[in-house]
């Protein structure tokens, strides 16, 4: 297939009148449309306003997609205890599978091609199966909670770890490595140290398994962790082994100097979730500071009850706007930086190689984006357009691993057995 348009190959590389050639699951060539058209005359040809790499939702809760709007105007701990945890407890196997399926459909049609997905305590296998069947690239895992969680969601530590291990055997590396596992303790509030240390041991026992958790999102959460452990949240995670290049920490809104040093020194990845942080009034994460320290900061939508949408373009825009107004500096988190967070940084956090940009030999995770909304006006800067003007609705074509998963011209979502 040859996908023609203004190619945003990565945040620093724009090719006007460009094209991306896909063969199998791989990008075979990126360059000038006329040149590649001559070189690949027999490839099916499609045209879009912008051709861009698929985005990485580096912290999502697909299983919360049935809970959109159930918990507005609340802060994290009440939001969780009064609304979100009871909803997760109430979902059976069918509900969990449906929730995950709907979450992945929304991701795919709005331009997310890879997710780091925080699943559920129960029936996480249903969600993993939905990820396999959806065609999305996913780093996902079952949630562990062994203390301080409501009845029905609190599990015995050994059982929570054993169920996680069973899912690693079953799903880690599925479909040629498109599905990879993340051991997923919910957060230090609902996990004993035995559980947190067990998560580290489990991840270490399997090549390529990562760890994904929430950290330092809200000041009340941090106070609870401090009361239990006598330590700041990130210091404690470090103490029990939950920092490092295989760890993804969602949020990290409130961190002190020592914690920031720990994150940077250990190569721990941070996922910034600007819309969620605003809606739950959690605070403003020090993204510029993390980036200046060399931390890989990715972007995530978090779950539908704390954002209402899995559209990655809202996060791109909010990440930039929030940083600018926080610093009173219009250069903070510029468009290229935001796009890098949502693509290359997300892929690095998720641990997928050759993902996050359109380059020869890289994975064919590609979006076709309509620019009709600006029919009458020129797009002077396609990267700026993606960050400040585009919406998930503008995505008319989504490909993951060379498979067309969504194609508006062909009626929308496609099933996985569609030919590459």
Site for ligand GUN, rule CB under 6 A: 61, 76, 80, 84, 186-187, 214, 217, 276, 302-303, 306
Q: Contact between 88 and Fe ion (CB under 5 A)?
A: no
* Nearest distance from C-beta of residue 283 to ligand GUN, angstroms: 12
Nearer to ligand GUN, 259 or 394 (CB): 259
Rounded to the nearest 10 degrees, the angle between the axes of helix 193-205 and helix 157-171 is 20
Nearer to ligand GUN, 61 or 238 (CB): 61
* Nearest distance from C-beta of residue 111 to Fe ion, angstroms: 20
* Nearest distance from C-beta of residue 277 to Fe ion, angstroms: 10
Nearer to ligand GUN, 122 or 403 (CB): 122
* Nearest distance from C-beta of residue 381 to ligand GUN, angstroms: 32
* Nearest distance from C-beta of residue 141 to Fe ion, angstroms: 13
* Nearest distance from C-beta of residue 50 to ligand GUN, angstroms: 31
> How many of the other CB atoms lie within 10 Å of CB of 152?
13
Q: Which does 217 bind (CB under 5 to 8 A by kind): ligand GUN, Fe ion, none?
A: ligand GUN
Nearer to ligand GUN, 87 or 357 (CB): 87
Q: Which does 365 bind (CB under 5 to 8 A by kind): Fe ion, ligand GUN, none?
A: none
Nearer to ligand GUN, 113 or 120 (CB): 120
Q: Which does 254 bind (CB under 5 to 8 A by kind): ligand GUN, Fe ion, none?
A: none
Q: Which does 80 bind (CB under 5 to 8 A by kind): Fe ion, ligand GUN, none?
A: ligand GUN
Q: Which does 186 bind (CB under 5 to 8 A by kind): ligand GUN, Fe ion, none?
A: ligand GUN
Nearer to ligand GUN, 303 or 356 (CB): 303
Q: Which does 187 bind (CB under 5 to 8 A by kind): Fe ion, ligand GUN, none?
A: ligand GUN
* Nearest distance from C-beta of residue 334 to ligand GUN, angstroms: 26
Which residues neighbour 35 within 8 Å (Cβ) at sequence distance 6 or greater? none
Nearer to ligand GUN, 11 or 303 (CB): 303
Nearer to ligand GUN, 218 or 268 (CB): 218
* One character per residue 280-319, x = contact with Fe ion (rule: CB under 5 A): ----------------------x-----------------
Which residues are near Fe ion by CB under 5 A?
302
């Amino acid at each position: 297939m040859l996908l023609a348009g203004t190619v945003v190959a990565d945040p620093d590389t724009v090719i006007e009148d460009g094209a991306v050639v896909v063969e199998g699951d791989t990008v075979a060539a990126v360059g000038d449309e006329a040149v590649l058209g001559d070189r690949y005359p027999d490839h099916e040809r499609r045209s879009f306003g912008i051709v861009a790499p698929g985005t990485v939702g580096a912290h999502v809760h697909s299983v919360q997609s049935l809970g959109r709007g159930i918990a507005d105007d609340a802060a994290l701990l009440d939001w969780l205890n009064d609304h979100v945890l009871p909803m997760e407890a109430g979902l059976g196997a069918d509900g969990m599978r449906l929730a995950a399926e709907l979450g992945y459909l929304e991701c795919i049609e709005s331009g997310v091609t890879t997710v780091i997905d925080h699943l559920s305590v129960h029936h996480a296998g249903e969600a993993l199966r939905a990820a396999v069947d959806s065609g999305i690239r996913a780093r996902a895992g079952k949630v562990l909670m062994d203390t301080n969680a409501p009845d029905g969601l609190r599990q015995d530590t050994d059982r929570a770890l054993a169920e996680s291990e069973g899912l690693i055997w079953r799903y880690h590396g599925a479909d040629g490595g498109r599905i990879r596992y993340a051991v997923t303790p919910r957060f230090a509030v609902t996990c004993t140290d035995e559980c947190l240390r067990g998560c580290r041991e489990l991840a270490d026992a399997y090549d390529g398994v990562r760890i994904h958790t929430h950290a330092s999102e809200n000041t009340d959460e941090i106070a609870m962790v401090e009361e239990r452990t006598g330590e700041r949240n990130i210091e404690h995670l470090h103490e029990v082994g939950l920092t490092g290049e295989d760890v993804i920490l969602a949020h990290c809104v409130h961190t002190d100097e020592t914690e920031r040093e720990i994150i940077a020194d250990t190569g721990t990845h941070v996922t910034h979730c600007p819309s969620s942080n605003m809606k739950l009034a959690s605070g403003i994460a020090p993204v510029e500071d993390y980036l200046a320290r060399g931390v890989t900061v990715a972007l995530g939508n978090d779950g539908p009850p704390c954002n209402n949408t899995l559209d990655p373009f809202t996060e791109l825009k909010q990440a930039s706007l929030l940083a600018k107004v926080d610093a009173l500096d219009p250069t903070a988190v510029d468009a290229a930086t935001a796009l890098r967070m949502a693509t290359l940084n997300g892929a690095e956090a998720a641990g997928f190689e050759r993902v996050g940009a359109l380059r020869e030999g890289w994975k064919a995770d590609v979006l076709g984006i309509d620019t009709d909304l600006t029919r009458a006006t020129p797009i002077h800067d396609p990267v700026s357009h993606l960050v400040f003007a585009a919406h998930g609705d503008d995505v008319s074509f989504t490909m993951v691993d060379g498979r067309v998963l969504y194609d508006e011209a062909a009626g929308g979502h496609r099933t996985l057995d569609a030919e590459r």
